[in-house]
Structures are given as C-alpha cells and as structure tokens.
Structure 1
Amino acid sequence: MSSSAETGSVRPPVTADDLDLAVRLAVEALREAPVAAWEGRAGSLEWTCWETVEHLSDDLFAYAVQLGPGEPPLAGDVPFLWESRRPGGPANAIHADRAAGPAGLLQVLEASGALLVAMVRTKPPRTRAHHGFGASDPEGFAAMGIVETLVHTHDLAQGLGFAWNPPADLCSRVLARLFPDAPESTDPWPALLWATGRDELPGRPRLTTWRWDGTPRG
C-alpha cells in the first residue's frame, strides 16, 4: 500500500470509532469459544488463549494510560508494574480474575478497550506520548490498538477454532497509518497478517522481525 504522498490521495484517518469496532468484533467472536479451549495455545504464540486475551487487554490499557497524564511522558512508559505470572508468560499489569471465567475475561478486554477509545476521543490530536517504536499521537495509538486487537484475535482464532476475517476497510486504514510500505497489490487483511509476521504472501516470505511506524503524520 503506497503512502498518500506517493499517490496524491488523502489517507483516511484512524478513529476512536474504528478502535471501538475492532474491540467489539473481537469480543463478539471470542464469546463463541468453548470454555475448555482457553488453556490451549493461541496460534503460533507461546501463550495460552487466556493469557493472550490478558496480554491484549494489557496492550489496550497500556496505550490508554500512556496518553492519560496531563503531560504524557516522552522518555518512557508510565511506571505501572508489569509482571509475568509464570516463566514465559506475558508480562502484564492487567490480569483477569480466573474465578470470573471467560465471560469475566472478556469484560476485562472490553473495559481496557473502552479506556483507550475514551482517550483517543478526548485527547487533542497534537498530544504526543512515548512508545517503544517512537513517540506517537492519539490516532497512532488507536491504530496500534486496532492492530493488536485484529492480529491477536487471529492468534486466538487459531487456538480456539473460530473463523476471523475483520473488515477490509478497517485493515486498510491501519495499514496506511502504521505500515505504509505494505504491499498494495494484496487484500488488506492478508497484507496486515504478513506485515505483522503471521503469514507469508506470494513472493514474500513470512517476516521473522517486524515493526510499525507510529510516527505522527503531517
């Protein structure tokens, strides 16, 4: 997908509504998962499906709190304590109460997504906050949250056994925002899976390392 500067077109923005839609679709799909499957591995990840939803919730929470202070930090993360509950497990600040079962786990995901949606809606576009790949703006954090949601739900779909095919226009907008050099000759969802190291494309082997570009656009 070529950049808007190269094509002369205006890049459609990534919005809080886009993020809200991504989280809602993910939660709706995950509600259909069998209870017994949650301790299985999530696709190619080393985490269980339960841990992967906790990690996704944590991603959304972390992006929200990074934007939260009146003067968001530019040199590092807001200092919540992130820790793993087992060797090899994800290091999270967010953990769901196991006693609440999968329904409670998905409530945690919904709530974390809602926090980021609210921050993206209310923070001025000029806001900048730290991310490990470079400082970004509210739109950038929305796009990152969408990519985390779509791609980790793909991992979960492999582990939990359901079909997952998010809207092409949603994938297209986050590709244009975060992966402007992704191939434009491929449908947006396969292109996003390739850009995040999940799959190969014809003539393009699966990536072993990848990163997005969250740099604020002009």
Structure 2
Amino acid sequence: MSDHDHVDQSRAAGPVTADDLADGVRLVVALLRQPAALAADWSRPAGTLDWSCWETAEHLADDLFSYAAQLGPQAPPAATHVPFVWRQDAPGKPSNVIFAEREGGPAGMVQVLEACGALHVAMVRTASPQARAFHVFGTTDPEGSAAMGLVELFAHADDLALGLGLDWKAPAAICARVLRRLFPEVPTAVDPWATLLWATGRGELPGRERLTRWRWDSVPR
C-alpha cells in the first residue's frame, strides 16, 4: 500500500517543514511538466474554477511568491500585506503580482511556478521561528506559511489536473500534517487527501455536506 493510500501516524506526526514544501513544489512541477500537460490546452477551465488553467497556474505562482515575500521583512506588517502592486486583468480574474510571459507557453509558466516555489521554500528554511507573516486567515509563522503553500499547491494541482486531463493525488502524510496545522477541526479517520479536498470545497466526505465556503486557521499553535 502506497503513501497515497495509507498514513503511518508516526510519519504524519510533527510540524510541516520546508522539506514538505519542497516536495510539494517538486511534485506539482513534475505533474505540469509531463508531455501531456505541456501539449494540452491551458485556456480550458481548471476544474470547477472560473479561471483557465493558465490563470490558475499563474495564481498559484503568485501565491507562493506572496507567501515568501510576507516572511521577508524583519518587521512584517501586522495588519496588511507587503504593499506590492497587484493587478487584475478583468473582473473575476485573479489579482496577481506575478504574471508569466504568454510567449513562453506552458513550459515557461511551469518555470515561473517552480521559481516562485523555490523562493517560498528558501524563506521558510531561513526565517526565524519568531517571524510572522500577515494573512487574512490569520497572521502566521514559517510553519504555517509552508502549510498554506502546500494547500495552494495541492488543491490547485487538482484543479489543473482536471482541466488538463491528468492524474493527480497528493501524498497522504504531508496532507495529514497540513490538515493538523491549518484545519484542526476536520475528521482525522478519513484519507487525508480526500479530507483536504473536502476542506477546500473540492470533494465529498461521508456524512459531511460539501463545503461552499471554507477557510483555514493559520495562526501559530
């Protein structure tokens, strides 16, 4: 039985780490670098989102960059984001700092995503445990930032896999650590990947209504 299907609780124990985040970036980049992914139509909707696959991948890259940036200042703002200029191309589209050149195609988009992921991993590794980063779901610490990045990576990888016609399943042990850090109230006796999809409004769980609104709790434990 693989890590995708079963979680050894001793493996799932412990904090979310920079290594977990690096693994998440690597797995999602590998998913999107498959020949079938690069040859697909990235203008198609990403799963159930109103965004295209291109816009979703761009949003994911922007999330990772933004989470890295929030950890950068020595005195992070307590009440708002670091004041980069964000741009929205049209109503209902993502508001981003990061945009990828269209001329670079899907391969270029994946490279932008990988670079932003590397920045986030580096900041989680090097930030003081006392560092704090603003987020509307709770000003967080480096561990919480890593967990937030992994939620974005894994949930949007699911959106992209649906849109691009790919198979995708996130590693259960990392999902379990992320759930414990950001979603402490969710069921623990169910497959962690299925639970993470449910917790982000993307799936069903037995005996639970599908979520139409959701949020994590990123404050330090």
Instruction: Tell me the TM-score normalized by structure 2.
Output: 0.92
Which residue of structure 2 aligns with residue 3 of structure 1?
none
The one-letter code matched in structure 1 to 2:33 is R
Which residue of structure 2 aligns with residue 69 of structure 1?
73
How far apart are the structure 1 equivalents of 2:77 and 2:119? Answer: 18
Which residue of structure 1 aligns with residue 5 of structure 2?
none
Which residue of structure 1 aligns with residue 90 of structure 2?
86
Answering whether residue 140 of structure 2 is matched by residue 136 of structure 1, we say yes
Which residue of structure 1 aligns with residue 31 of structure 2?
29
Residue 36 of structure 1 deviates from its aligned partner by 3.8
Residue 201 of structure 1: which of 185, 201, 205 is its match?
Answer: 205
Residue 180 of structure 1: which of 179, 184, 187 is its match?
Answer: 184
Taking the TM superposition and a 5 Å limit, the aligned residue runs for 1:8-157 are 11-32=13-34, 33-157=37-161
Q: Deviations over 1:117-160 (max 9, x none)?
A: 01100011111121101110000000000000000000001100
The one-letter code matched in structure 1 to 2:180 is A
Equivalent pair of 2:137/2:216 in contact (CA under 8 Å): yes
Which residue of structure 2 aligns with residue 215 of structure 1?
219
Q: Deviations over 1:15-44 (max 9, x none)?
A: 111001001100101112043421100001
The one-letter code matched in structure 2 to 1:58 is D
The one-letter code matched in structure 1 to 2:214 is W
The one-letter code matched in structure 1 to 2:192 is P
Instruction: Give unmatched runs, 5+ long, in structure 2.
Output: 1-11
Q: Deviations over 1:151-206 (max 9, x none)?
A: 00000011001110111101001001001111112100000000111111111111
Q: Secondary structure at the match of 1:104?
A: helix
Equivalent pair of 1:57/1:109 in contact (CA under 8 Å): yes
Q: Deviations over 1:52-106 (max 9, x none)?
A: 0000000001101111111111110001111111232111010000111111100
Equivalent pair of 1:178/1:214 in contact (CA under 8 Å): yes
Equivalent pair of 2:38/2:107 in contact (CA under 8 Å): no
CA-atom RMSD, angstroms? 1.1
How far apart are the structure 2 equivalents of 1:159 and 1:44? Answer: 9
Equivalent pair of 1:14/1:143 in contact (CA under 8 Å): yes
Which residue of structure 2 aligns with residue 7 of structure 1?
none
| Greater shift in the superposed pair: 184-193 or 84-93 | 84-93
Equivalent pair of 1:136/1:214 in contact (CA under 8 Å): yes
Instruction: Tell me the TM-score normalized by structure 1.
Output: 0.93
Instruction: Give unmatched runs, 5+ long, in structure 1.
Output: 1-9
Number of aligned residue pairs? 208
After TM superposition, the runs of 4+ consecutive aligned structure 1 residues lying more than 4 A away are none
Q: Secondary structure at the match of 1:37?
A: coil
How far apart are the structure 2 equivalents of 1:37 and 1:176? Answer: 36
